[in-house]
Structure 1
Amino acid sequence: MPLTWKPSVTVAAIIERDGRFLLIEEETSEGIRLNQPAGHLDENESLEQAVVREVNEEAAHEFIPTALVGMYMSRYYSRSRSKDVTYLRFTFCGDAGVEFDQPLDDGILRVLWMTRDEMAACQERHRSPIVLQCVDDYLAGKRTELALLYTHPSVFAGGI
């Protein structure tokens, strides 16, 4: 039976404060990389719940999503690991609330704040080729209301 192709669904958060964007520096199989707080959609959660959880786990901040900036697809291929994954990323913008006194997720080295220009100057360190694209779209004012997203209750009940 042939393998069924399906994208890996991820979420990411754009958080701006005083012209700087919250990023995380993390250890990956490709070395130390920069990314927005981001991660995989888990079973039994909505996209909004996933992005709130990821910001909490990776950046130790409360996150209040206010809009969807965009939906992005990118492909990652690692020759050294024979890994080929297509990612479907939902990027949200919103407000950072309180900073929690807790350890960061495994592999996260630190949280930092960078300007758009500082991010552009180190694109080779970005975890994904769309990290800067998401910020540029945010700065261009691209926003969609969260009401566009609908999660059927069956997601939380384990199916119908």
Structure 2
Amino acid sequence: MRWQPHITVATIVEDQGRFLLVEEESAGKAVLNQPAGHLEANESLLQAAVRETLEETGWEVELTAVTGIYLYTAPSNGVTYQRVCFAARPLKHRPELPLDAGIIGPRWLTRDELEARKGSWRSHLVARCIDDYLSGERFPLALIRDSELPAPSPA
């Protein structure tokens, strides 16, 4: 069998010092994570981040930056994930939308409240992504290239 990493996206959404997280079921227990999920066929990383945030939280968001690219091997299953994490601002809550299966609901928490629930993090990336965001890590969305778009011509 050929080794293959799984490509995922995650979104850091901050509003007045609180971060939009997802409480979800994983391996029979409730865990906290960013709105996150797998890249699907025929979508860009940016489209995936916006879609996953809406499907898991009911929040429409506008992506503002890339905060980091992370490689993580889950100890629970040995699967390696490449996570592209974005910063976003909340636009509109759509509470009437159904959330993905396994999602308990969105949770707005401060960094301190998240730390107090350390035992319920899905992985250490939950805090790492927020900490990178809080330390000012911001890269232009143009860092993400879509192979369907032509490369800019040299000046």
Do they fold alike, i.e. is TM over 0.5?
yes
SS at match of 1:53: helix
1:91 is aligned, of 72, 85, 105, to 85
2:19 is aligned with 1:21: yes
Runs of 4+ in 1 over 6 A off after TM superposition: none
Partners of 1:77 and 1:114 lie apart in 2 by: 26
Provide the C-alpha distance between the structure 2 equivalents of 1:125 and 1:6, rounded to a whole number of angstroms.
Answer: 28
| Cα drift, residue 107 of structure 1 | 0.6
2:134 to 136, 139, 143: 139
- Superposed, which structure 2 residues align to 1:145-160 within 5 Å? 145-153=140-148
Runs of 5+ unmatched residues, structure 1: 155-160
Using structure 2 for the length normalisation, give the TM-score: 0.92
* One-letter amino acid of the structure 1 residue matched with residue 125 of structure 2: I
Cα distance in 2 between the residues matched to 1:34 and 1:49: 22
TM-score, normalised via structure 1 length: 0.89
Letter in 2 for 1:73: L
3-state SS of 2:124 partner: coil
Match of 1:103 in 2: 98
Distance 1:129 1:102 in 2: 29
Determine which of 34, 53, 61 is the counterpart of 2:51.
53
Residue 40, structure 1, aligned to residue 38, structure 2: yes
Distance 1:128 1:12 in 2: 13
1:16 partner letter: E
Measure how far apart 1:30 and its partner are: 4.9
Of 25-34 and 50-59, the range deviating more from structure 2: 25-34
Between the aligned residues of both structures, percent identity stands at 47
Question: Separation in 2 of the partners of 1:71 and 1:42?
Answer: 18
Q: Distance in 2 between matches of 1:13 and 1:69?
A: 9
Structure 1 partner of 2:153: none
- Measure the CA separation in 1 of the matches of 2:124 and 2:32: 11
Cα RMSD after superposing both structures: 1.2
In 2, Cα distance between the equivalents of 1:148 and 1:14? Answer: 17
Query: What's the counterpart of residue 158 of structure 1?
Result: none
